[in-house]
Every structure is written in C-alpha cells, then in structure tokens.
Amino acid sequence: MPHPGQVDGASSPKGSQYSAHTIPYNVEDINLFMNILMIGEYPPKIGGISTHISQLKKELNKLDQDVFVLTYSKSSEEKVYSTKLPKKFRGIFFILIGLFKGIYIIRKNRIDIIHSHFATTPGLLGLLLSVITRKKRILTVHGSDINVYLKRKIMGQLVKFVLYNYPVTIAVSPDLANKISKLSKRKFISIPNGVDHSRFFPENLEKKGIGFIGALVDEKNPKDFVELIRELRQKGIVEPAYIIGDGYLRKELEEISSGLNINFLGEIIDTEKYLKRFMVVVSTSKTEGFGLSILEAMACGSPVVSLMSPGANYLLCDLNLIAQDKNKLIVLVERIIVNPEFRNDISNKLFEKSKLFSWKKCAAYTLEVYKNILI
C-alpha cells in the first residue's frame, strides 16, 4: 500500500515532516463510494480525537462518502450513535454495549470499513466488530495511546494486542509512525491532522495574555505552566495568564496559583476567540502525539512555544520554539512578550507553516488508504 510521501514500513520523523501535505493528490481518481463506521470520541466531547473524527467525517462527506460514528459522547447529530454508560468501568461497558450497537449499525447501514480511533477501548471494539461481521478494519493512533498507555503494564499489553491485530494503522505524526513500526510488522502510514482555516485565522486584534489549552491532567503537565507564570511574576512580567481546559487537577492548580493572576476558563468550544488574542500560547505537555491546539494557535498567527514533546517537535522544532526544560521555556516566553519585533516575526512564520495542514488533505489521504484496503 503506498504511503503518502513514504514507503510501506518506513518512517522518518525529520525527513518527512511535510510529506503528507506536499505530495500531490487527485481526489477525482478515488471513485469508491463507501459506508464507513468510525469509533471513538466525538463532539460535544472536547479534545483532539473528537475534533479529528468530526472534521474527517465532514470532509469525507464532501467526497461522497457516508460516515457513521459510534461514540460514548452524548450527541444528537445524524448518523452518530451514542452509548449511555455508567461512570465506573466505562471502557468495559463501551465494549459490551458497543458490540450489540455496532453490529446493528454495520448491518443496517451496510458498512464497508470500520475505522477505530485510539489503540485502547475503541481499537479493541473495532477489532471485535470486524471479526464478527467480517468487515475490513483500520486503526488511527493519536498520541497518548502510544506515548502514555503503552508504558503502562496492563494497558500497554492491550495497545500492543490491538496494534498487532490491525493490518493497517494510521499515525497522526511521523514520530508515532516510527514508534509503531518497532512494535508491529503490519503496514502503517503517517497522515497528519489538519486545521479548520475557516475558524482559525489571524485577526488584527490587540494581543493580551499568556495562554494554556489542554486537559488538566498529568499528561498535559499543567503544573509546569503554573510554575512558569510564577517565575515570570518574579521577573516583573504581569501579563495575565489563562488556562482553557478542565480535569482532575483543576482544584489543586487553583490552590497553587493563588495570587498569580491565572484565570481558569474551563472547557471552551470556540477556542479561536482566545487564540486570536493571546500574546503567546504555551504547551507544557511532554507526551503530545501531534499537538492540535498548537497547530490551531499557529493558524491564528499566535506565537507558540513548547517543552519538548514528539508532537511539538514535529510542528515547531525547525522554528526554534522548543525548550529542553522549564528554564529555557521561560526565556522564550519572556522574549516573545518583551520583544514585539520577534513576536511578529514568529507569528508570520507560524501562520505560513500552518497552511501546510488541512482537513481536506487529511481526508483525501485517508480515503486513499480505504481504497487500497478494499480493492
């Protein structure tokens, strides 16, 4: 199966960063019309996977493909099937309930291919449905499944089992593709996320604030953002800070950030309203698989800096906006705030680079993968 910009079973994170976006494609050559079942998070759930599936569904619909979604998010959208789950043991119940509902969806809508997103519960459910109904299957890994769960004892075994039993896996970054190539001899392909340029674009607004966007969980490392703001205050920088997101760490973060002028905004759907105004956006995650919020900030022309992570390296490394540690990150943020010329220069470079990514391209390449599986 051809790899967009790479050959089967090979991936080079540095040498092929833009390969899935710069190799020409021709959607008109793809003439299969399919019924596709996607499994994973979906809006109104906020996060990278739900954004990915919803945008992919939207763009595939434009290519005359019929997409259905099986999710544990509460959605009333047409062709999206939600599952009501208890708060405890959600993963187990999603598989049990999802099996019956999935078989119903597949038979009723004559599904041609099952596309699971995330190599844990959704991946296992998709695998079981594929075996039972004898439909083709494909998996997309998004980051935490490889960078976080793979390192855990029980969940790591599940991730390996799922990867081994999918004949084709899509990775949202070359780094992820490189990692799974060491775990499985199956076919894999790197197709980066896109960005909705109709929502995320620069506006001539007064820039204000230091922003953080992400779930308030250990994997996103928000405590380092609070400590970064504390260090900046000690340096005399009083620019207000904003945290967009929610999670089990919120109460602790609010306590340790008292007096630092950090505003907790909770989960917000229309994040572009803030990204267009932030003076600088900071990512402190060390396990980011792609970094969709980073790309969305780039598309808004907002300066973005990050601690080193696979996703951030992919998007920002060539612009020297990656910091090896918290101290170097503080220096970068301070320079952006106090140096308008530097701030404007990197804003322009980030915006131009964001043009390499679109959901239209992501959908076109994904459709090409479907075609190769079914033919």
Question: Which domain CATH number covers 55?
Answer: 3.40.50.2000
Residue 67, strand partner residues: 36
pLDDT at residue 243, as a whole number? 98
Domain that holds residue 322: 210-354
* Residue 2 located in a structural domain: no
pLDDT at residue 74, as a whole number? 85
For residue 288, give the amino acid letter. E
Residues 133 and 263 occupy one common structural domain: no
* Residue 314 located in a structural domain: yes
pLDDT at residue 183, as a whole number? 84
Residue 141, strand partner residues: 171
Q: Please report, in tens digits, the pLDDT of each residue of the chain (375 residues total).
A: 434 433 233 333 333 333 433 334 444 455 679 999 999 999 998 889 999 999 999 999 999 999 999 998 888 899 999 988 877 888 888 999 999 999 999 999 999 999 999 999 999 999 999 999 999 999 999 988 999 999 899 999 999 999 999 999 999 999 999 998 888 778 999 999 999 999 999 999 999 999 999 999 999 999 999 999 999 999 999 999 999 999 999 999 999 999 999 999 999 999 999 999 999 999 999 999 999 999 999 999 999 999 999 999 999 999 999 999 999 999 999 999 999 999 999 999 999 999 999 999 999 999 999 999 987
Residues 323 and 342 occupy one common structural domain: yes
d(CA 184, CA 334): 43
Sheet with 113-117, strands from edge to edge, namely: 80-82, 66-71, 35-39, 113-117, 136-141, 168-171, 187-190
- How many separate domains does the chain show? 2
The pTM for the full model equals 0.89
Residues 276 and 150 occupy one common structural domain: no
- Evaluate whether 364 touches 25 at the Cβ level (below 8 Å): yes
- Evaluate whether 323 touches 221 at the Cβ level (below 8 Å): no
Residues 66 and 150 occupy one common structural domain: yes
pLDDT at residue 346, as a whole number? 96
- Evaluate whether 313 touches 143 at the Cβ level (below 8 Å): no
pLDDT at residue 31, as a whole number? 67
Residues 76 and 190 occupy one common structural domain: yes
- Specify the long-range contacts of residues 265-271, CB closer than 8 Å, at least 24 apart: 267/46, 268/46, 268/244, 269/44, 269/46, 271/213, 271/244, 271/296
Residues 259 and 148 occupy one common structural domain: no
* Residue 6 located in a structural domain: no
* Residue 350 located in a structural domain: yes
For residue 190, give the amino acid letter. S
d(CA 221, CA 98): 32
- Evaluate whether 25 touches 363 at the Cβ level (below 8 Å): no
Strands (E), the chain: 35-39, 66-71, 80-82, 113-117, 136-141, 168-171, 187-190, 210-213, 241-244, 262-266, 280-283, 304-307, 322-323
CA atoms in the 13 A half-sphere facing the CB of 247: 18
| Radius of gyration over every alpha carbon of the chain, rounded to an integer in angstroms | 21
SS3 (DSSP) at 3: strand
* Residue 53 located in a structural domain: yes
Residues 52 and 78 occupy one common structural domain: yes
Q: How many CB atoms lie within 10 A of CB 256?
A: 14
Residues 241 and 338 occupy one common structural domain: yes
CA atoms in the 13 A half-sphere facing the CB of 276: 12
Residue 280, strand partner residues: 210
* Residue 299 located in a structural domain: yes
* Residue 11 located in a structural domain: no
pLDDT at residue 29, as a whole number? 55
Residues 180 and 237 occupy one common structural domain: no
CA atoms in the 13 A half-sphere facing the CB of 46: 15
> Which of 179, 154, 158, 180 is CA-nearest to residue 167?
180
* Residue 7 located in a structural domain: no
Residues 221 and 188 occupy one common structural domain: no
Question: In the chain, what is the greatest distance between 2 CA atoms, to the nearest angstrom?
Answer: 64
Residues 95 and 139 occupy one common structural domain: yes
Residues 33 and 182 occupy one common structural domain: yes
Q: Are strands 187-190 and 168-171 parallel, antiparallel or unpaired?
A: parallel
